[in-house]
Structure 1
Amino acid sequence: MSLPLSPEPALAAGDDPRAYAAVLQAVYDASMTGRKPPARPRSVIGQSWERVRAAGVLPDIDTTAPVLNSMDLHERRASSGLQQLVDPLMHHLDTLIVDGENILVVADAAGRVLWRNGVNRVLHRADRLGFAEGASWAEDSVGTNAIGTALASGRAVQVFSAEHFVRSHHEWTCAGAPIHDPRTGRVLGVIDVSGPAATIHPTTLALVDTVARLAESGLREAHRARLDELRAVAAPILARSAGPAFAVDPYGWVAALDGVAPRTQIPLPRHPAAGRQYLRGIGDCDLEPMPGGWLVRVAAADAPEQIRVELVGGREPLVKVSGPNAAWVHRPSPRHAQLLDLLARHPEGLSAAQLSLAVFGNADQRIAVRSEMSRLRKHLGGLLAANPYRFTDGVVVTTT
């Protein structure tokens, strides 16, 4: 994996912001009218201008995408992978917003603003630019800016005054840094500090980038803790498993293994399913869901057996899972037991609206259903599929 590019502040220490803003304005005006500019924009800015021109963004027209409604915003937050980071991010960058001149923004990997924090006076100024929760600040929506340009360039970036492509943004400065998921390497989103152009400071970008790296460190620690939990669950399962096997999390990170050469990660399919799968560098393997991940057995010549799920009802519901060489149990909550029973009776699958109608008596509790199903799928690994929600193919379900 290549190292991330170093953050590049818009302003060097000791530079006069007003004088530099005047130079940037001259560069911008010449560039937008096809004249020879008195200086070149920074490479990260020049490359961004080329991208947004190609995307059809116009410098004098705000072309923001529609803002998400409250339900879609709630779902976007829940699925972003950023929710657990919001409070720590706000805490670490509180000094930049406490004086009321800047706002703190967390956006997802698509550039959608999911959370903001700051005093009302500055938030209202941001609202006039469409810089609101649920708005898209990707480059192809609003041109060059710290959120969209950090996502497009893959680096921490500061954008000052006329470096913004859209003219109405020139009164602002912003510094944004991408946050990566240590499990996959993919970008989860961007942390951004924005405010009036006069508030620019060269150290702001370094601080924002440092906080983004701290967030990634916290995600790594949380991942290690989940692997430790999976290792404890996997130990007795591997002890009863015949033949070489791995216990891995949903991303293929190895928590425990038996009878195979040590490795830290195996190449799971992007959407793994129970049954026989060919894994690059390993060969045919039989995948069985287990709490928090997968049991991956290096396949023998014979065909894999079916995975069976028994749903035990009553006052203390129980889920019994048995595979070819391993078995485990899970005690669901009453709500989860109700959802599993509904899915067992509807093998074709049910939508969130259909589950909401069955559980709550109306179809309007889709967010609550999706939240419960997300937690349930974390407990039961690959036993459950989505869109629609159902037991995965090859799983035999019985109820008692």
Structure 2
Amino acid sequence: MHSTLLLEDDYQATVRLAHDRLQPSSSRLGVSVDGSDSRPGGVRSSVLESWNRSIDRLHDPAGARVRVAYEADQLAEVRRRHPFHSIMPLLRSHLIEPAKDAGLLAALGDEQGRLLWVEGERAVRDRAEAMGFLAGTDWSEEVMGTSAPGLALRSGSPVQISQAEHFAPDVHSWSCSAVPVTHPLTGQVIGIIDVTGGDDAVSSIVLPLLASTAKAAGAELSQLYRPKHMDRSGAEAVRSELSVFGSAPALQGPEGARVSLTRRHAEILLLLHRFPDGISGSGLVDRLWPVGGSEVTVRAEITRLRKAIDGLGGLRIDARPYRLLGDLDSDLDRTCAALARGDVDTALGHYRGPVLPDSDAPGVREIGDEVDALLRETLLQDGTWQQLWRYASLPDFRDDAEVLMTVLRLAPPEAAERNAAVVRLEALGC
């Protein structure tokens, strides 16, 4: 892969020579900078400026030492409360799995540069852990000097750092790219996403991958953190609610009127609800049919759906693009919002099984798979044995061996649920 950085031997040699001049001193590095970010004749200005800040704070590159910010028990709780936790299925599909397939590490950190997740092949993680790049450690510029995670947070911009551009000598065999992620409502940085490895970690395709992941993360979080609608008295307004868990989808108006929905109408409402900026006719075709389908069919279904929901809670469907107007909530959104708050009991109260289980619509399956994976992963990582058993009692998950084994591991010896879990596992041949 071709790199977006100047990775030729002459540039790296220049960087190494300049880095060798960094001494344990309060004086700044005497290398001229012309303000451009990349110069064939010298160190990139952004890197040099970071080195100078690092010298001022840390004094000696060899003295940069990894600091553990969170021990294992603290890390689990911090992860659970961080916004990334609520969108892990998206982050896995958009970033973690592609990075892992490329032999790279994907790291997710908080707004202070502390790594919360570091994932990749075991052999690569072992090498990275040898230099202290692992979950729970602090990789801010203040602690580790120049690195992509630290500089991305410092600058608020995408950053790539190659080999000897790192401040700490132990990191010179690695390269990394990082992008800050902002809260969709406040615009404040909530963390960073990073790819670390060899030269491929700063290839030309990595920053677009990180940027698209950050954009998708913001869009997903905006669904979870939408402001509540208030009435004139300041109380939360009663909204229509879409029910999509289970095989009997329905729409209930704020006054209690209930409309049973066909599978196709439920699919369309769910998609329009999840994409508040609207979806084109061709976009709906792609999300509703694995193969075939047409915009003519979409228009016909939209016409029938408009008649079905006419007068219910002020909901209506605009066109060009198709957009759902009016106040609508859903059991899916309530589940995701509860998981984002770390409220597993409430999430289980809303969750009744897979989203529209009879649907083969690609867009619906993607939404359903994400919430299913998020709930299951949350339970396996942070759930109590009672919550796990409650999940395993749902018809679709009675045979989930990993969940049943976790119940056995966590439940006390006297719990009757242990015997029931053993019986199910034996029936599964485990």
Q: TM-score, normalised by structure 2?
A: 0.48
Q: Does the 8 Å CA contact 1:171/1:197 hold for their aligned counterparts? A: no
| Structure 2 unpaired stretches of 5+ | 33-39, 238-344, 347-381, 388-430
Secondary structure of the residue aligned to 2:113 is coil
Structure with more strand by fraction: 1
Give, in angstroms, the shift of residue 158 of structure 1.
0.4
Q: Residue 174 in 1 paired to residue 173 in 2?
A: no
Report the counterpart of residue 12 of structure 1 in structure 2.
Answer: 4
Q: Percent identity?
A: 28
Q: Which residue pairs with 2:141 in the alignment?
A: 139
For residue 100 of structure 2, what is the aligned residue in structure 1?
Answer: 97
SS across alignment from 1:202: coil
Residues 173, 196 of structure 1: 8 Å contact kept: yes
Picking from 55, 68, 80, the partner of 1:53 is 55
Pick aligned residue for 2:12 from 21, 26, 33: 21
State the Cα distance separating 1:195 from its structure 2 match.
Answer: 0.4
- Counterpart residue number, 1:326: none
* Structure 2 equivalent of residue 195 of structure 1: 197
Which residue in the other structure is 1:392 paired with?
none
Q: What secondary structure, in the 3-state scheme, does the structure 2 residue paired with 1:178 have?
A: strand
Q: Is the 8 A contact 1:27 1:39 kept in 2?
A: no
Alignment-derived partner of residue 117 in structure 2? 115
Give the secondary structure class of the aligned counterpart of 2:179.
strand
Counterparts of residues 294-305 of structure 1 (less than 5 Å): none
Q: CA deviation at 1:212?
A: 1.1
**Contact map agreement 1:146 1:192 (CA 8 A) in 2:** yes
Q: Assess if the C-alpha contact under 8 Å between 1:57 and 1:141 holds in 2.
A: no
2:88 pairs with 1:86: yes
Contact 2:176 2:201 in 1 (8 A): no
Q: In the alignment, is the contact (CA less than 8 A) between 1:24 and 1:163 conserved in 2?
A: yes
Give the match's secondary structure for 1:189. strand
Work out the number of aligned pairs and report it: 231
Letter in 1 for 2:189: V
RMSD: 3.1
Q: CA deviation at 1:118?
A: 0.4
Q: Say whether the 8 Å CA contact 1:113–1:133 is kept in structure 2.
A: yes
The 5-angstrom pairing of residues 312-351 of structure 1 reads none
Q: Which residue of 1 aligns with 2:127?
A: 125
Deviation at 1:22, TM superposition (A): 2.2
Q: Relative to structure 1, is the Cα distance of residues 152 and 119 closer, same or farther in structure 2, using a 3 angstrom cutoff?
A: same
- Return closer, same or farther for 1:47/1:16 CA change in 2, 3 Å cut-off: closer
Shift of 1:26: 2.3
The 8 Å contact of residues 142 and 166 in structure 1, kept in 2 or not, is answered as yes
Aligned residues of 2:107 and 2:117 also touching (Cα < 8 A):
yes
> Contact (CA 8 Å) 2:165, 2:172: kept in 1 or not?
yes
CA deviation after TM superposition for structure 1 residue 135, in Å: 0.5
Label 1:19 to 1:90 Cα distance change in 2 as closer, same or farther (>3 A). Answer: farther
Q: 1: CA distance between counterparts of 2:134 and 2:76? A: 14
Q: Which ranges in structure 1 are unaligned for 5 or more consecutive residues? A: 1-9, 249-331, 334-366, 373-400
**Aligned-partner Cα distance in 2 for 1:195–1:89:** 18
Separation in 1, partners of 2:179, 2:23: 27
Change (3 A) 1:141 1:31: closer
1:202 maps to a residue whose letter is: S
Amino acid in structure 2 at the alignment position of 1:165: F
C-alpha distance in 2 between matches for 1:90 and 1:149: 24
Runs of 4+, deviation exceeding 4 Å: 31-38, 245-248
Write 1 or 2 for the structure with the bigger share of helix.
2
Offset at residue 105 of structure 1 (A): 0.4
